[in-house]
Amino acid sequence: MTEAAFKNWQAVQDEVRRRIHARIWAPGEMIPNEQDLAEEFGCARATVNRALRNLSDAGLLERRRKAGTRVALHPVRKATLNIPMIRKEIEDRGQSYGYERLMYRDGVPPEELSRRMKARAGDRFVRVTSVQTADGAPFVFEDRWINLSTVPAAAAEGFETVSANEWLLTNAPYTEGDIGFFASNASDEVAGVLGCEPGAAIFVIDRVTWDNDRSITGVRQYFRPGYRMETSI
């Protein structure tokens, strides 16, 4: 601690973490400015900046120009979830992947989804439901609406062998998405597909993706009972 020993931003970050954790810098308290820290650590200001910016992104510090940097009083923990393609998730577990299309039909989404997808008059949609399996057992039931007005090419694809998810990723990349997670009791339909009792607690991911201001697709994925999504913070 006596000599300059923090020559890279990760070492600086670790040292700042240590001081926060050891209450040398208490929650809510100001810490020295970048210039002073750079001198203390014997490195360039940019290096300190990189470290502090990272900690700020992680929610441990709060930074404001002129006001300076303080230790967050109530660190809002941020969990980063990876949303992989189902196929990749299953194959990464070393299981065999299967896909089956269940239904394909033109139509109009239910009112609530129409609103969420900001459907315009004249927009055309197709609904595709499917099941994806791991080692032959149902893994996820997917109920999806595709906006053909945004993705006309989808009208020529029946999604009989290729999942809509993968086809869209390749053919209709999105710029933004809204995603929600919740729990739902299995309906008879969901229970039938997933092979569980009606009423079983099902983990659901609900997503709408956008190509700028045009909705591409709205989808609900019902995972098999016991599914657990994990990460670290």
Partner DNA sequence: GAGTGGTCTAGACCACTAA
Partner DNA sequence: TAGTGGTCTAGACCACTCC
Classify residue 90 as exposed, middle or buried by CB count within 10 Å of its CB (0-12, 13-18, 19+).
buried
The interface partner of residue 67, options being DNA, a second copy, none and the CB cut-off 5 to 8 Å by kind, is DNA
Q: Which of 19, 54, 56, 214 binds DNA (CB under 7 A)?
A: 56
Cα–Cα distance, 137 to 135 (Å, whole number): 6
**44 part of the interface to DNA, by CB under 7 A:** yes
- Interhelix angle 45-57/9-21, rounded to 10 degrees, is 50
Longest dimension (CA), the chain: 72
CA–centroid distance for 113 within its chain: 20
The interface partner of residue 103, options being a second copy, DNA, none and the CB cut-off 5 to 8 Å by kind, is none
Closest CB to DNA among 28 and 42? 42
Closest CB to DNA among 68 and 110? 68
* Contact in structure between 134 and 90 (CB atoms under 8 Å): yes
* Contact in structure between 181 and 203 (CB atoms under 8 Å): yes
The interface partner of residue 137, options being a second copy, DNA, none and the CB cut-off 5 to 8 Å by kind, is none
What residues contact residue 230 under an 8 Å CB cut-off, 6+ apart? none
Provide the minimum distance between the beta carbon of 157 and a second copy in the complex, in angstroms, as a whole number.
18
**64 part of the interface to DNA, by CB under 7 A:** yes
What residues contact residue 121 under an 8 Å CB cut-off, 6+ apart? none
**17 part of the interface to DNA, by CB under 7 A:** no
Provide the minimum distance between the beta carbon of 165 and a second copy in the complex, in angstroms, as a whole number.
10
Mark the segment that binds DNA (CB under 7 A) among 43-51, 98-106, 175-183, 189-197.
Answer: 43-51
Q: Count CB atoms within 10 A of the CB of residue 170.
A: 9
Write out the residues near a second copy by the rule CB under 8 A: 17, 20-21, 27, 74-85, 88, 169-170, 173, 175-185, 199-204, 206, 211, 225-233
Cα–Cα distance, 35 to 33 (Å, whole number): 6
Closest CB to DNA among 1 and 103? 1
Cα–Cα distance, 69 to 32 (Å, whole number): 7
- The footprint of DNA on this chain (CB under 7 A) covers a number of residues equal to 25
The interface partner of residue 44, options being a second copy, DNA, none and the CB cut-off 5 to 8 Å by kind, is DNA
Scan residues 67-126 and list those touching DNA (CB under 7 A): 67-69
Q: Which residues bind DNA (CB under 7 A)?
A: 7-10, 33-35, 42-47, 49-50, 52-53, 56, 63-69
